[in-house]
Structure formats: structure tokens, C-alpha cells
Amino acid sequence: MKLMRVTDPEEVLKIINTQFGPLKETVICLDKAGGYCLSTELKAPENIPDFNRSTVDGYAVIAKETFGSSEGIPAIFDNIGEVLMGQPAPSILPGQCCLVHTGGMLPQESDAVIMIEDTEVNGTMVQCFKQVAPGENVIHRGEDLKQGDRALKQGHLLRAPEIGLLASLGITEVEVYRRPRVGFFSTGDELVNYNQPNLNPGQIRDSNAPALLHLARQAGSEPRYGGILPDKFTIFLEKSLAMLDQVDLLVFSGGSSVGTRDFTARTIQELGQPGLLVEGISIQPGKPTLLANCDGKPVLGLPGHPVSALNIFKIFGNAIIERLSGHKGSLFTPTIEATLNRNIASRSGRTDYVRVKLENSKEGLTALPVFGRSGVLRTLAEADGLLIIPAEEEGLNAGETVKIIPWE
Amino acid sequence: MKLMRVTDPEEVLKIINTQFGPLKETVICLDKAGGYCLSTELKAPENIPDFNRSTVDGYAVIAKETFGSSEGIPAIFDNIGEVLMGQPAPSILPGQCCLVHTGGMLPQESDAVIMIEDTEVNGTMVQCFKQVAPGENVIHRGEDLKQGDRALKQGHLLRAPEIGLLASLGITEVEVYRRPRVGFFSTGDELVNYNQPNLNPGQIRDSNAPALLHLARQAGSEPRYGGILPDKFTIFLEKSLAMLDQVDLLVFSGGSSVGTRDFTARTIQELGQPGLLVEGISIQPGKPTLLANCDGKPVLGLPGHPVSALNIFKIFGNAIIERLSGHKGSLFTPTIEATLNRNIASRSGRTDYVRVKLENSKEGLTALPVFGRSGVLRTLAEADGLLIIPAEEEGLNAGETVKIIPWE
């Protein structure tokens, strides 16, 4: 029997980043742009803000006229009125002040705002008990962004703050990298569609398809389901080629037997050049994973067991989607710290992804491994996250502090 | 001037959980159910799997007939053929075996599978060099789930593994808690819609609306934008009441001045009973936050500065959406560990949310605070996450290991 050539998980991620790149640019409305990455640098077309604004409720003054004022010797100003929100500010002369609200425009002559709590008002006379420095309580014109400055760099992921920043500049459309369309096929003659009410002996419902489509949607891609492929090479190849033409990433799932696996590998080799890059990954569960580059498009063959298939797609499928979407690739994975409740053995030389459940106790958060075969999906439904045991470790001991990657 | 009564952030989260509860149930197709929470317990209508399956490629045998076999003295079986995937298995008699693939059905008489690599085949004669125990390499009928067992409990969040598990049971529709509709109003006479190309002096584009709508969508809710409300009490109240009738959570944003804030508070008090629960939160930035219960519906008044508004919605808006969606409320927040690159001062008695940028260096991940006023949205666009300094701390020192909550 041929031994499977396995690749380290870190190496697989490197292969993904070197073999594939961001998809073509597209223009999208700002209100739909969340989750996309900019394909060009964006410059500020104007100053933000475009006028000097107060950061407090108070009186706009000429700062030097407050110098020396104190509780005992207040400076006195003549209040000429109020800056209305959204309106140009009136002019002030020396000795005058003007009521201004937070966010309001400062009179052109004014360079500071004295907070309302440091004043006392008597008719139009405002006593000011504190000195303010020039610029105090003011956001200056262009302080957030100066006209012509880089607002966001190429590749920047558009989250809520970026959308707000672009909206404040009046930008309503942005050039972004297109997000991938992902085609899914299920394989294996034992599979039937999950909406089939009654099964014949030996049949299994295709549970991977709806689960994987959800993961693909979560990752920001647009999934397409091609159905269950029969174990007939010509049909298998024809359907795969047609789908690959329509999508940016092709995924095969199901079919845990060596036969189906070989069959999928053989098909992938026919889909384009250079073909298979990875024939197996040194992780558990999920070793029998295939990754290919078929004429520039990534093709992923997931392992057959459902727990393995979902874990592998979550890690490597998401990495491919991020790469195609133009993400710079986050170097940091958020984790949850917990105390391991029992010893776990691990074979050195392969990375173990242990399903764990988290429980809160008086001593803090506890991580409880959920054991069970990778064919038993219930074990992943019970788990809150994955505990990674690196290849060089031989196991972990009860009481150790561990870091859990949440399964969301 | 009236002092603001402030509430601790932890207390605000408790108020959210005690004052509000999950929305009404609804039925949804399984392929759209990702992100919803089950409103009822789900029992398995059948066994998963519904037949004994092989976990390897090998020969189905009667285990006791292999006892005592070894490299030197192999047990010998007569191979009656192959179990076809998706087909019922043939029967075997004592002394017989049957080729079975991973996932294939076992013959009724067989109770174990011997791996193909432990056999040698000669025509229809299979030599078996190892003994197997009963049950070895077999997933038993009902091993994943037994008919009538609880498959998932009430409130369980439907992620990919749960969708797969339900699909494997042939469940195509599920009863879930409805996800909230969230209404947004912007307030402040200085605001104009963000698609307005040219601004008059004193005007500011409403950058919060598109950013908040994105956050609401990310949190799994359905946002509705009601536009910019004028500072006219009767119109403000009328529009708010009409929107509140249509949504499950009402959010006011913008208007950083004390006047606008009082105005919003006065409106909220008229929307329903018991009215305002929180008039301020002891966090920085984001202190002037309002939270009310208006006849059972949550109403949130966000602080005016954009950075504060987005942070507050991310923390407390999301908590309300989760509560209404029936999430049990995760007790664990994933974080990223990094080394702080400089000292940060913090006033004791309030919780500080410091924006930080993460950088990878030879020494590992470094957290660099991004300083700047909470009116400057660019500072949040530059940040990868938030560093929380608890109320009881007076600051952090350079070189300390800190935990960063990612801003996604």
C-alpha cells in the first residue's frame, strides 16, 4: 500500500499564500462593503473635520484673553449668542465669546473653548474662572484626516470603523477585491440528499453539504452546491470541470473510503496544472486532505469523516477564502485560556486538534476534552472549541493552562 | 450641573440579561438556520447511523473467528464479495468474510472489521494476520445518536456542526428564536446623510449610521435605518414611537452635546415603562450611554463620538442582540496575548477601553496603544483590538503581558 505523503499544517498555510492571490477588483457600495478588502489605497478627498469643532459644551473664546484668570479673578466676556449645530459660527471680537455645543463649529477668530462648568453666566456676561490654552477643547480642521492624506491602505479590511471613516469623507463606493464563489460537490455512493425522509440500509444523508455551505457563507464567500457526484469517472470529471469554470475555489467532500479518495485525487489531477500540492496533512483528525492548484484555481478535497471535514474547512478552507479575498492574513488567532481537566496523550510528529467543552467553575474556566471518533458529529456539536497540541508535544497534563480556539 | 449617575459595565450586562429575554419562536429552513438558537429541545427521530458502519477499509468478519490468529498462524476466510456503498450488506456464514469500505454497512452476522493492511488476499481466500475484538473498527447503530435521545438542547446555537448533525437526521426545518430587527436613528442638527457630496460650514456627515448598520448585520440582526431626526420634540417622539413599534431594539446615535443628550433622554422616557435603566456607564470612552426598557423593548442611546458609539454598540448592542436571539450568553471572550510596548495610565474607578494596534516582532506580538480623541475615527480604523484596563487598576506598565479583544 502506498504511504500518504503528509505536509505540516504551517507549510500548507504557506503553500496557500504563495500559490494563490487576491481575485480581481470590483466596485461596491459602501453600505455593502463590510468584510471586503480594499484593492487600492484610498486618499482623503477633503479634510475631516472640515472646520474647527468643539469637543465640549462651553464658550468659544480667544485663548490668550483667558490667561491669568482664576476663581478669584475671573476673565469676563460678552456672550454674543450661540453657535447653532450644523450652521456656520458667527464672528467674535476681542472680549466676546459665543456658546458652542460639543461638535459645534468654532468662530474663525476663536482658538479654544472654555468648559461650561468653569464659567458663570449673568445675562450676556460670562465669567470665566480658568485659563485655557490655545487649541484646548478643539478638534482642528484636518485633525482626523488631512485632504490628500492616505485614509486607508490597500488590502485594509473594511470593518465598521473603516465604513464610518469612509462615510465621513462622503465616499459612497469603494474598489475592493471580489470575494470568492465556492463550489461544493459531495461524493460517495452511500450519500443521499439530507432532505430524503427514509433511508435504505447502507445509505447516509449528506450532512456535510449544508454544514460546509454555512461555513463558506460565514467566511464571506458565496457558496454553490453542485450535488452528489456518482462514482463514474467521466461524469465526475465533466461536472467538476463545468463547476470549476464558474467558481474560484472547488471543494469535494465526503467519501471516506480509500477508493473514493483515490477517485477524487485522480479527478483533481485532470482539472488543471500543476495539480496536487498536498496529499495529506500531518494533523489529527483530518489527515487525508487534498489541496491542488488547477490552472490557478485552488481545489480542496476534504477528508470523509464529518468532524475532520468541518475542522479542515474551518482552518484551510477559510485560509484560502481569506487569501482570495485579499486579506493580508491575520497573524494572530484569538484564544480562550482555560485549565485542562485531565491528561491528554498525543503522538509526537503530528498536530492534534482536540475538541473541548468549556465550563465555568469557581476556579475559573475548565477545558474538558470531548472524546469520540471523527465520524461522530455530535462530539463537535458538544465542543466549544479546539485545543491544538503541536507536533513536537507528546501530550498535556491535567491542570495545565491551555489556549482554546473557539469554534464559532 | 447634574452629575451623571454611572453604572459598572458588568452591572449593565446583568441588567440586559434580567430585563430582556428571547424573542418569539419561528420556524426556519435548516439551510438558513446558521446563527439562530433553538427554541425547543430536539430529539433524534432515528438512530445515527442507522446501521453498523465500518471505520476502515477492510474485511467484515465474525470477531471470535480471528482469535489467536497472528503473523505466523493466520486465520483464513472465504471472501464472498464486496459491500457496495449505499447498498445493504450481504449475509456471511462462519468462515466467510466480505470486503467493506470505510463508511460501508456491515453484514448482520459480522461484528468487526479487520484492516486491509493486516490481510493478504489470494483469489477468494483472505489470510488474516491479526485478531480483532468484537466491535473493532465499527461505528455501531445509534452510536452518534440513539432514536429518542436529545440531539440538541433548547437554546443551542446552530453552528456548522449542529447543522450537519440535524441534516444527518433528515431534519429540514427547525424551531428557533427569531433574531431581532434593530431600528437606528441619527440625531443632531449638524448631521447630513453621508452621501451628500458638499458640506456647508458646521455640517458633518452621518458616519455612524452605515458603520452601526454593518455591526448590527454582523451580530445577526436585521437593521433598519430611520434617518436623521430633527431636534423637534414632537417629530422626534412620533418617529421614535412608530419605529419602536416595528423593531425589537431601538438605537439612537449621534448628538454629542449635552442638549441633544438630554433631548434623547427625554424622548426615551416617553417611549414606555419603566424607561431609563442606565444613564451612564463607568467606562472610557463611552460614558454617556443611555439604556432603557420601554414596555419590554430595549432602547439604547449611544454616545456621540464615533469611536465611543461603535465600541459601545459592539459591547452592549451585541449583548442585547444576543439576549433577544436566545443566546445563552457566552461567558468567555477570546483574546490575543501580546506584550505592551509602553506604560498606560488609567483612572481608578472606571474601566478603560484602550485602542491598540498589534505588531509582530522577533520577540512575539506587541501591543501599541493608538492614542487620540474618541471623536477621531481614524484611531479605531488603525486599531486591531481593545485592551481593557479594569476599574480597580491604575494603569499598566511597558513589558506587561496583556490580553487584547479583537475588533472584527
Closest CA–CA distance from residue B358 to any residue of chain A (Å) = 9
Chain B residues with CB under 8 Å of A213 CB are: 31
Q: For all residues of chain A together, what is the average pLDDT? A: 93
CA distance B169 to A249: 29
Q: Which three cell numbers stand for residue B64?
A: 471470535
Selecting from B31, B210, B314 the residue whose C-beta is nearest the C-beta of A163 gives B210
How many Å apart are CA B221 and CA B318, to the nearest integer?
A: 9
Q: How far is A38 from chain B (nearest CA, A)?
A: 13
- Per-residue confidence of chain B (408 residues) as pLDDT tens digits? 456 789 999 999 999 999 999 999 999 999 999 999 999 999 999 999 999 999 899 999 999 999 999 999 999 999 999 999 999 999 999 999 999 998 899 999 999 999 999 999 999 999 999 999 999 999 999 988 999 999 999 999 999 999 999 999 999 999 999 999 999 999 988 999 999 999 999 999 999 999 999 999 999 999 999 999 988 889 999 999 999 999 999 999 977 667 777 889 999 999 999 999 999 999 999 999 999 999 999 999 999 889 999 999 999 999 999 999 999 766 678 999 999 999 999 988 899 999 999 998 888 899 999 998 887 899 999 999 999 999 999 899 999 999 999 999
**Cα dihedral sign, A233-A236-A242-A243:** negative
Transcribe A55-123 into DSSP letters: SSSEEEE-GGGGTT--SSS-EEEEEEEEPPTTSPPPP--TTEEEEE-TTPBPPTT--EEEEGGGEEEET
Q: Which pLDDT belongs to residue B184?
A: 98
Map residue B53 onto helix, strand or coil. Answer: strand
Q: Which of A218, A179, A221, A162 is nearest to A30 (CA)?
A: A162
Contact assessment for residue A312 and residue B160, using Cβ atoms and an 8 Å cutoff: no
pLDDT digit string (tens) for A302-356? 998 899 999 999 999 999 999 999 997 666 789 999 999 999 999 888 999 999 9
pLDDT band at A229 (very low <50, low <70, confident <90, very high): very high
The pLDDT tens digits of the residues spanning A169-186 come to: 999 999 999 999 999 999
Length of chain A: 408
Q: What pLDDT shows up at residue A332?
A: 78
Which bin fits B286, alpha (ψ -120 to 50), beta or left (φ > 0)?
left
Nearest CB to B159; choose among A204, A332, A407: A407
How far is B100 from A345, CA to CA, in rounded Å?
30
Q: Are A314 and A40 a contacting pair, CB within 8 Å?
A: no
**pLDDT value at A1 more than 50:** no
Contacts of B211 in chain A (CB under 8 A): 160-161, 163-164, 167
According to the model, what pLDDT value does residue B1 have?
45
Q: If contacts are CB pairs under 8 Å, which of residues 232-251 in chain B contact chain A?
A: none
Q: Which amino acid is at A402?
A: V
Q: Which of A108, A207, A313 to substitute to test the interface with B, most B CBs within 10 Å?
A: A207
ipTM entry: 0.93
Q: Which residues 278-297 in chain A show a CB within 8 A of chain B?
A: none
Identify all chain A residues contacting B190, using CB atoms and an 8 Å cutoff: 85-86, 103-104
Grid look-up 456471511 returns B92
What pLDDT score was predicted for residue A256? Answer: 64
Contact yes or no for A105/A82 (Cβ under 8 A): no
Residues of A in contact with B229 (CB under 8 A): none
What pLDDT digit, counting tens, does each position of A95-149 carry?
Answer: 999 999 988 999 999 999 999 999 999 999 999 999 999 999 999 999 889 999 9
A82 touches chain B (CB under 8 A): no
Share of chain A above pLDDT 90, in %: 85
Say whether B202 and A104 touch across the interface (CB within 8 A).
yes
With a pLDDT cut of 70, the percent of chain A lying above it is: 98
Residue-wise pLDDT for A10-59, tens only, equals: 999 999 999 999 999 999 999 999 999 999 999 999 999 999 999 899 99
Instruction: Determine the residue of chain B that is closest to A372 in CA distance.
Output: B144
Cα A286 from Cα A288, distance rounded (Å): 6
Q: Check pLDDT > 70 for residue A2.
A: no
Beta strand spans in A212-269 (E): 222-229, 249-253
Query: What domains can you pick out in chain B, each with its CATH number?
Result: 9-23+179-324 (3.40.980.10), 25-48+145-177 (3.90.105.10), 53-139 (2.170.190.11), 336-406 (2.40.340.10)
Single out the residue of B220, B207, B237, B258 nearest to residue B377, CA to CA: B207
CB atoms closer than 10 angstroms to residue A251: 27
Cβ–Cβ pairs < 8 A, chains A and B: 318
CA-based nearest distance A257→chain B, Å:
5
Whole-prediction pTM = 0.94
